[in-house]
């Protein structure tokens, strides 16, 4: 036998011996590990009662809590419920462009912040995207991808009668609103019945002198250059109607549905939208004692 063949045979035997010794040593360590005591570092050591190490059986995949992996999108129903709780769709209206086209906008009430928002499609607010605006609902998309639908709502969790710092009693405001089919559903937010308002409007048309008093109660406010920049309320008639809208003597109506009130024809335009049932909500930007508030009215 050559020296090379002898060395190869012995090296092979040595390799097999090392492998068997490694397996045996691993088995020994495993058995020793089963008898290792688990000691709470906060407790005192007790040699008489060593705790045995318990080897936990891995849970089946079907029993795992995958919400940890899915993160914020784990409970879309909770996200939807929170958005529906916080935001209320008051209604929609059309915005006309100088070229004659029109786009539907939405009036949404933020109950938590007690403010009203006017939103366009593809607009973002609080990292929420407005996908679609239709007559009776708005589709939103959250930052985590959930799509939520807000349908028109005419109630809130709590009915409010207060309208900021008003000069009239809240009881009379509530009573006046109910006369025209109205109800307060939040701070500076009301719901009115369409048939009741139409009945009132037709009554004004039958008695033109009353309609004139309504328009005469809204007096133009001029800039230094002679341009109209709003209308100040100085009630000449139909006081209960103005109070039902939450308006006070001296209020200046600056905008209606984002449109600057620079002439009387614009006010007549919004009346036409209401009569033709093209708008289901209106938002007034009102200056009161130096501060601007947004008053919203949903029509059902």
Q: Locate 96 and state its tokens.
A: 């006309």
Whether the model clears a pTM of 0.85, i.e. scores above it, the answer is: no
| Interatomic CA distance for residues 218 and 268, integer angstroms | 13
| Interatomic CA distance for residues 298 and 193, integer angstroms | 9
Query: pLDDT of 74-114, one tens digit each?
Result: 467 777 888 888 998 888 888 876 676 788 899 998 888 88
Phi first, then psi, for residue 200 (nearest 5°) are -65, -45
Of 20-29, 168-177, 269-278, 289-298, the poorest mean pLDDT is in: 168-177
Cβ 282 vs Cβ 257: under 8 Å:
yes
- Helix locations, 129-278, DSSP H: 170-179, 194-206, 208-216, 239-244, 264-275
- Helix locations, 43-167, DSSP H: 67-70, 76-86
- The pLDDT score that the predictor gives to residue 166 is 32
Residues in CB range of 135: below 8 A, 6 or more apart? 92, 104, 280
Q: Locate 220 and state its tokens.
A: 């133009």
pLDDT at 47 over 80: no
- The pLDDT score that the predictor gives to residue 78 is 79
For the chain, the straight-line distance linking the first and the last C-alpha, in angstroms and rounded, comes to 107
Domain boundaries 75-151, corresponding CATH code: 2.30.30
CATH architecture of 170-299: Roll (2.30)
Half-sphere exposure of 54 (CA within 13 A, CB side): 4
| Total residues belonging to the chain | 300
Cβ 116 vs Cβ 124: under 8 Å:
no
Cβ 187 vs Cβ 160: under 8 Å:
yes
Averaged pLDDT for residues 14-20: 63
| Interatomic CA distance for residues 192 and 96, integer angstroms | 24
Cβ 93 vs Cβ 281: under 8 Å:
yes
- The pLDDT score that the predictor gives to residue 131 is 94
| Interatomic CA distance for residues 229 and 252, integer angstroms | 9
Half-sphere exposure of 159 (CA within 13 A, CB side): 9
- The pLDDT score that the predictor gives to residue 50 is 44
Averaged pLDDT for residues 266-290: 90
Pick the more confident residue, 68 or 111: 111
- The pLDDT score that the predictor gives to residue 160 is 37
- The pLDDT score that the predictor gives to residue 157 is 45
Q: Locate 186 and state its tokens.
A: 């939040």
pLDDT at 154 over 70: no
| Interatomic CA distance for residues 141 and 200, integer angstroms | 40
pLDDT at 163 over 50: no
Domain boundaries, the chain: 3-54, 75-151, 170-299
- CA triple 279-285-289, angle to 5 deg: 155
């Amino acid at each position: 036998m050559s020296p090379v063949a002898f060395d190869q045979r012995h090296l092979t035997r040595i390799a097999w011996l090392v492998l068997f010794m490694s397996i045996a040593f691993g088995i020994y360590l495993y058995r020793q590990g089963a008898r290792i005591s688990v000691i709470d570092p906060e407790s005192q050591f007790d040699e008489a009662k060593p705790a045995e190490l318990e080897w936990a059986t891995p849970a089946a995949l079907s029993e795992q809590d995958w919400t940890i992996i899915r993160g914020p999108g784990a409970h879309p129903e909770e996200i939807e419920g929170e958005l529906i709780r916080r935001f209320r769709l008051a209604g929609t209206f059309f915005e006309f462009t100088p070229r004659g086209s029109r786009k539907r906008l939405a009036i949404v009430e933020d109950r938590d912040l007690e403010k009203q928002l006017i939103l366009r499609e593809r607009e973002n607010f609080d990292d929420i995207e407005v996908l679609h605006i239709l007559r009776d609902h708005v589709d939103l998309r959250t930052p985590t991808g959930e799509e939520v639908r807000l349908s028109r709502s005419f109630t809130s969790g709590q009915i409010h009668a207060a309208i900021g710092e008003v000069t009239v009693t809240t009881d009379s405001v509530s009573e006046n609103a109910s006369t025209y089919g109205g109800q307060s559903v939040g701070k500076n937010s009301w719901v009115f019945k369409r048939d009741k308002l139409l009945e009132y409007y037709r009554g004004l048309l039958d008695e033109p002198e009353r309609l004139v008093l309504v328009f005469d109660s809204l007096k133009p406010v001029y800039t230094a250059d002679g341009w109209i920049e709003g209308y100040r309320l100085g009630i000449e008639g139909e006081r209960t109607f103005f109070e039902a809208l939450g308006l006070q003597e001296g209020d200046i109506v600056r905008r209606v549905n984002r449109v600057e009130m620079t002439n009387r024809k614009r006010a007549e335009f919004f009346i036409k939208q209401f009569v033709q049932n093209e708008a289901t909500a209106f938002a007034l930007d009102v200056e009161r004692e130096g501060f601007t508030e947004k008053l919203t009215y949903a029509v059902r």
